[in-house]
Structure 1
Amino acid sequence: MDVNRMSFRRSSHTRVSRASTSGISKFLKQSRRKQSARIRKCICLPSNYALVEFPVVWSELRANQQLCDGIIRCPGDQVFPVHRAILSAVSPYFKALFINSLKGGKTETTEVVISSVPGEIFSLILDYAYTGTCNINADNVEQLLPLADQFEVLGIVQLCCQFLLQELRPENCLGIFKFARHYFCRDLEKQGRKYIRHHFKQILQESAEFKDLHYDELEAILRDDELNVKNEEIVFDAVKTWVETRVEKRRVYLPRLLKCIRYGLMSHKYFINNIVNWKLVEEDEACQQILLPVNAYLTEQDAKQNGGEIDLKNPLARPRIPYEILFAIGGWSAGSPTSFVETYDTRADRWFVSVNTDVTPRTYHGLCALNNLIYMIGGFDGNEHFSTVRCFDPVTKEWRERACMYHARCYVSVCTHGGKIYALGGYNGRTRMSSGERYEPQRNQWEMIPPMHRQRSDASAAALHDKIYIVGGFNGQEVLDSAEVFDVETNQWTNIHSMISPRSGVSLVAFRDSLYALGGFSGVARLSSGERYTPNHSDQWHEISEMFSPRSNFATVILDDMIFVIGGYNGSSTIAYVECYDADYNEWYDASPMNLSRSALSACVIAGLANAREYSYLGKARDLGQGQATSKNQEKSDQPDEDSAETNIIISAQENEQIDVSESVH
């Protein structure tokens, strides 16, 4: 089998005889039918999987052909001397053959002929029987897995499924999925289905197997609420690509496939130009009838003033479940730290307030996602500067205390790299720091790293190309435009070219091959500008298009292949405003605002949550009354803001460091 493009041959399941006698074959077939009637837990991918360790002496006896008491004959006159007890220990099938338990107590068999199994494949089965492992690769797995299943060598079935799971790629996942389903490897089938959902756009672009899908298989994929598509135009492209591959044979399926598209989530212009005017639709009356109510709905949406808010209750606009969930936690609002946790469903463009999350009010903290857990690091509650670390599991929705940092750090810069968390700079209640430390979750331990060249609080850090970058911030006297990079291999900090503008309360985000420094406070005003730095192409920073709103002390994440900026302080009040940046077009777009206006919050994104539905519009709609999940901007602009005096940042800091309002140190 070529794992890069998995072929699927139904005949392979029956090409090997199950026994050397018709009696045994008949019994095993009947036994298999009885077993299939019972629902059994699949153990192809056990959660506690581990390699089996067999005694070394078994391999020595096999290699020297000592104490052998049985023979297996394969095609081509290949003969394998075996130890019947060892082979029987890993295979109930061979145990039944050797002891003749199916023949009413007749003499035990010492020689078995397997007429259709290549010797090189059977040799792998013997490797496992004697050592607990065998060499599985792309060339043999397609033959080995069904034979291991046939001979009931569960360990090899598990090894094959582990191998196929690791080999899942957009170009081969459809074949592996069908292969797993055919051989009743339900765990591997489940993982394959999840992979297909989450990588559908890449599969459409890269998989030659996509065009060979059966109609039922394609329809099941396209109807799935968890299909990870940024927009419904991708779903239409899939329908069009599949149908046009064999037009005359497949056009009959077009009416039903068109029903899989959620038209309320696409523009009327695209609908008319690309779907209604598609030649196959124009020639099919059934398709036209299906699209009539769609056209009426989209026309009505266009007629609403300012486009209106999409009615997600309408089946045509039913949003899919997002693959990535955005979490925004803590921050300043209405003059005090908050414990609010909001999540964002990018498919529905809706924010939801989470309840019962047991968060201590915190602001100017760090937040990052690692191994599907959220870590909240350091921060400030209005009185205390924290060195504490808390970890949130979005599946169990429980918080746990983790090891404290060596230093208290609010206005800390946090990022992840190599499975570790880096906490850099910040303010400990007395001084701005140049120190940094990193955390290893498996050991639950922090360790100090070399200090930066500059003291930095209210800076921002990001990891790119195996290096840690940090930019801007405040050193107690001035807002910084400087930037430096930490080489993890050499354990050294190096200065890089300064930014175009000094920025405190800045957000630095790594996206593709570049770093983006966005917003912040220049020492005079809040900034809406941003700049890009691409280490492999230039040592200079280059301006990008400006955000719609100036802001400092806001959160930034990568979501749906775009940069989202969330909340912050605009110079007069905290804001709930959210916008996103498309790097391909160098343009900003509006997104729905948060429910709560706040600055000094932090945010992160977790992908592939098992309970993503609970955080989605579809999961929340029932609790919100008849599916009406809306987001209202609850700004409190009439209340005094904790950052209102920040325009005097430099003077205040120089005269009395304790009233450095830019960092809310009161």
Structure 2
Amino acid sequence: MNDNNGMSWTDDGCEAWRVRYHKEICHGLAQALSNEEFTDIKIIIDDKTFNCHRIVLSIMSPYFSAMFASGMKECQDGVVHLQNVESGAFEKILKFIYGGQDVIDTENVDSLLQAAVMLQIKCLQERCEEYMVGKLDPENSLGAWKLAQGHGCSCLAERAFQFILYYFEQIWKTEDFLAIDCDELLQIIDNNNLNIKSEELVCEAVMRWVHSNVDNRKKDLPRIFEKLRLPLIQPEYLIDVLEHNKLITHNQPCRDVLEEAKRYHLLPARRQEFVSPRMSFRNFGDFEEVVVCVGGTDDNSKTTQRVICYSEKRSKWFSLASMPHDPGVEFATCSYGNAIYISGGSTK
């Protein structure tokens, strides 16, 4: 499409003009803030005063919009004393609101996120969360998770928690791990997505957490032991380590969980009858529970040596190693531990 001057208004041209328009309006707003032109509200934080524009603050912040529409005395006087926001953080927030500046760095992101949540500046909150997700590491992920939970930042909380689960083998050795509370610890160790090489490592992490403040935390051991998957631990560890720990042996609920795991290992022939919430395999583990189909008939109604299994976790069928010979029909199967035994069979 051409205008009267012969200029082409293509989609690319419109987009370029939108970008130019946004730059111009942001520049104008930033100038109005810097020059304090047409200001109609003073925001006072501690001993610092910020001269602002109600309409600009209201557009970006439902918090200010509700305040200015309420008819409160402070608004009528044109002066608002803002609590629970640092003056340095608010100065950065004004640069973001008026000029769209990216004002976030590692030093101020925590205070900016808290202020953005309080002032209901959604786009700044999302930018802070995005920044923190990009900076997650084993040293800061627990702090980011707790901060996000405390301020209702669901995106950051979810991403930080998934990071904690995946890098748990590094995170449990940090000092921040010792500062989490019991409920947070349980939330981590009970998750099926916990990425660990063995359940022994979870026990080591738990006991490190308990011993860091043993007088106050030993009471939490029964709740914690309910979530430890002791049947999946090597029997040597159960006997040589856990059974020699007085915090465990002097606690009846913990002893009961330990005895359950010992029975599982002592009676492998009965494992298929063993039912316990502590027998669930992790999604990152070497094992998972499957349904196995042995033998049967093929499309031509002939018996087969095939063995297939179905993974409920992955919603998929897999082929296992075939039987060494075709048992025909009327054979029996039984499991012993993770092995399957076949007996009998007939070619009739």
Summarize the Cα distance change of 1:298–1:67 in structure 2 as closer, same or farther, 3 Å threshold. Answer: same
Structure 1: state its 5+ residue gaps: 1-51, 323-344, 354-593, 597-614, 625-629, 639-666
Q: Which amino acid aligns with 1:59?
A: A
Q: Give the drift of 1:181.
A: 0.9
User: How far apart in 1 are the matches of 2:260 and 2:283?
Assistant: 24
Equivalent position to 1:64, from 17, 35, 40 = 35
User: How far apart in 1 are the matches of 2:194 and 2:310?
Assistant: 13
Q: Give the drift of 1:272.
A: 0.9
Tell me the secondary structure at the aligned position of residue 85 of structure 1: helix
User: How far apart in 1 are the matches of 2:77 and 2:292?
Assistant: 68
Encode CA deviations 1:417-438: one digit per residue, 9 max, x unaligned. Answer: xxxxxxxxxxxxxxxxxxxxxx
Q: Give the drift of 1:126.
A: 0.5
Summarize the Cα distance change of 1:179–1:352 in structure 2 as closer, same or farther, 3 Å threshold. Answer: farther
2:176 aligns with: 209
Question: Do residues 199 (structure 1) and 167 (structure 2) align?
Answer: yes
Question: Do residues 87 (structure 1) and 49 (structure 2) align?
Answer: no
Tell me the secondary structure at the aligned position of residue 72 of structure 1: strand
1:253 aligns with: 220
Question: Do residues 274 (structure 1) and 261 (structure 2) align?
Answer: no
Q: Which amino acid aligns with 2:286?
A: T
| Segment drifting more, 107-116 vs 223-232 | 107-116
User: Is the contact between residue 235 and residue 261 of structure 1 (CA under 8 Å) also seen in structure 2?
Assistant: yes
Encode CA deviations 1:2-52: one digit per residue, 9 max, x unaligned. Answer: xxxxxxxxxxxxxxxxxxxxxxxxxxxxxxxxxxxxxxxxxxxxxxxxxx9
User: Is the contact between residue 170 and residue 202 of structure 1 (CA under 8 Å) also seen in structure 2?
Assistant: yes
Summarize the Cα distance change of 1:103–1:133 in structure 2 as closer, same or farther, 3 Å threshold. Answer: same
Matches within 5 A, 1:299-310: 299-301=266-268
User: How far apart in 2 are the matches of 1:251 and 1:631?
Assistant: 47
User: How far apart in 1 are the matches of 2:251 and 2:36?
Assistant: 71
User: Is the contact between residue 74 and residue 80 of structure 2 (CA under 8 Å) also seen in structure 1?
Assistant: no
1:320 aligns with: 282
Question: Do residues 125 (structure 1) and 93 (structure 2) align?
Answer: yes
1:348 aligns with: 288
Summarize the Cα distance change of 1:160–1:263 in structure 2 as closer, same or farther, 3 Å threshold. Answer: same
Question: Do residues 74 (structure 1) and 67 (structure 2) align?
Answer: no
Encode CA deviations 1:213-255: one digit per residue, 9 max, x unaligned. Answer: 2112212221112222121111111221111112222222222
Question: Do residues 284 (structure 1) and 251 (structure 2) align?
Answer: yes
Summarize the Cα distance change of 1:635–1:158 in structure 2 as closer, same or farther, 3 Å threshold. Answer: same
Summarize the Cα distance change of 1:65–1:184 in structure 2 as closer, same or farther, 3 Å threshold. Answer: same
Summarize the Cα distance change of 1:240–1:60 in structure 2 as closer, same or farther, 3 Å threshold. Answer: same
Q: Which amino acid aligns with 2:288?
A: A
2:150 aligns with: 182
1:102 aligns with: 70
User: How far apart in 1 are the matches of 2:131 and 2:273?
Assistant: 41
Summarize the Cα distance change of 1:631–1:351 in structure 2 as closer, same or farther, 3 Å threshold. Answer: farther
User: How far apart in 2 are the matches of 1:184 and 1:107?
Assistant: 28
User: How far apart in 2 are the matches of 1:228 and 1:288?
Assistant: 27
Tell me the secondary structure at the aligned position of residue 230 of structure 1: coil
User: How far apart in 2 are the matches of 1:223 and 1:616?
Assistant: 25
Summarize the Cα distance change of 1:159–1:269 in structure 2 as closer, same or farther, 3 Å threshold. Answer: same
User: Which structure has the highest helix share of the two?
Assistant: 2
User: Is the contact between residue 125 and residue 134 of structure 1 (CA under 8 Å) also seen in structure 2?
Assistant: no
Tell me the secondary structure at the aligned position of residue 348 of structure 1: coil
Equivalent position to 1:633, from 318, 321, 324 = 321
User: How far apart in 1 are the matches of 2:43 and 2:31?
Assistant: 19
Q: Which amino acid aligns with 2:159?
A: Q
User: How far apart in 1 are the matches of 2:101 and 2:228?
Assistant: 46
Summarize the Cα distance change of 1:202–1:297 in structure 2 as closer, same or farther, 3 Å threshold. Answer: same
Q: Which amino acid aligns with 1:89?
A: I
Matches within 5 A, 1:490-501: none
Aligned length: 291
Q: Give the drift of 1:635.
A: 6.8
Q: Give the drift of 1:151.
A: 1.6
User: How far apart in 1 are the matches of 2:244 and 2:71?
Assistant: 70
Encode CA deviations 1:116-163: one digit per residue, 9 max, x unaligned. Answer: 543221111111111223412232222222222222221221121112
User: How far apart in 2 are the matches of 1:238 and 1:123?
Assistant: 42
User: How far apart in 2 are the matches of 1:96 and 1:313?
Assistant: 59
Matches within 5 A, 1:120-519: 120-205=88-173, 207-301=174-268, 311=272, 314-315=275-276, 316-322=278-284, 346-348=286-288
Structure 2: state its 5+ residue gaps: 1-20, 294-305, 327-348
Summarize the Cα distance change of 1:267–1:173 in structure 2 as closer, same or farther, 3 Å threshold. Answer: same
User: Is the contact between residue 281 and residue 288 of structure 1 (CA under 8 Å) also seen in structure 2?
Assistant: yes
User: How far apart in 1 are the matches of 2:310 and 2:207?
Assistant: 29
Q: Give the drift of 1:349.
A: 8.4
User: Which structure has the highest strand share of the two?
Assistant: 1
User: How far apart in 2 are the matches of 1:258 and 1:211?
Assistant: 18
Q: Give the drift of 1:285.
A: 3.1
1:407 aligns with: none
User: Is the contact between residue 264 and residue 274 of structure 2 (CA under 8 Å) also seen in structure 1?
Assistant: no
Q: Which amino acid aligns with 2:181?
A: H
